[in-house]
Structure 1
């Protein structure tokens, strides 16, 4: 689907993405997982993450396309909803996501 109209997508590698999910808790919206590439995608309101400069994070807005799984696909392999899409819980607040990703990217994984 084309990004930039209804939502933008924030692409994050799986490990820092899972840490960000831990920080967000119930404040996360829907999250797509590419099980083959170990990538997570958050949906955020269009344009709200356009100026982000976070390492390992890519914001996909106008001019980008994102593969979106069917609503009921909640298990892999392949593309599925890591956090299922639900009415009123499609997008994540961009400010909260930025804070969670900043924390997740500076945190060191436990050994």
Structure 2
């Protein structure tokens, strides 16, 4: 009697340590690391939902850390957010750490271990109360934005949206408006 084929889990990245101990890994090669305080990190995971890939929880330091494409978080300036890039190292927890380990995976890595940096930046702006940088958020520019740097320019005004639509429009942060709403 034939047995059904068992699903083979996707391969793990080679830098995930085998065994039960965390190991250092250089940033800037396979990934950069973006960390934030524990409370803000848990809130950001909630905002990201399924868009969040691998996440490291460091209970001792009180930090949550995402892995992103090398160089994609350069220039982020948000409260309590630390970006570790080229020349820095981060400790990577094993998949099955001891029960007493303070470094573990909040979301385990798989073949798609990198979180989208734009989605992460948006979530971190929201949870830290930081001021968004339109150059980081946008690759598309609105024709009504005089500086061509803002994705959905509303001339510095917040447009009302119907409740329970899931749509949130925020004031423009570009400097092209004389309303004083920009930076």
TM-score (norm 2): 0.55
- Displacement of 1:71 in angstroms is 2.5
Q: Aligned pair 1:53/2:92, yes or no?
A: no
- What SS does the corresponding residue of 2:105 show, helix, strand or coil? strand
Q: Aligned pair 1:103/2:114, yes or no?
A: no
Counterpart in the other structure of 2:66:
42
Larger proportion of strand = 1
Which structure exhibits the higher relative contact order, with contacts defined as CA atoms closer than 8 Å and separated by 6 or more residues? 1
User: Does the aligned pair in 2 maintain the 1:4–1:61 contact within 8 Å?
Assistant: yes
Q: Aligned pair 1:70/2:94, yes or no?
A: yes
Which of 19, 32, 37 aligns to 2:56? It is 32
For structure 1, which segment, 24-33 or 67-76, has the greater mean C-alpha deviation from structure 2 after superposition? 67-76
- Displacement of 1:3 in angstroms is 0.2
User: Does the aligned pair in 2 maintain the 1:74–1:82 contact within 8 Å?
Assistant: no
**Structure 1: gaps spanning 5 or more residues:** none
Q: Which has the larger radius of gyration?
A: 2
Please, what is the CA RMSD of the aligned residues?
1.7
> Structure 2 CA distance, aligned partners of 1:25 and 1:75?
26
- Displacement of 1:72 in angstroms is 3.0
Which of 114, 130, 146 aligns to 1:91? It is 114
TM-score (norm 1): 0.89
Tell me: CA distance 1:52–1:70, structure 2 relative to 1, closer, same or farther (3 Å).
same
**Structure 2: gaps spanning 5 or more residues:** 1-24, 131-183
1:14-67 CA-partner distances (Å, limit 9, x unpaired) = 011111111100100100011111111100000000111111001000010000
After TM superposition, the runs of 4+ consecutive aligned structure 1 residues lying more than 4 A away are none
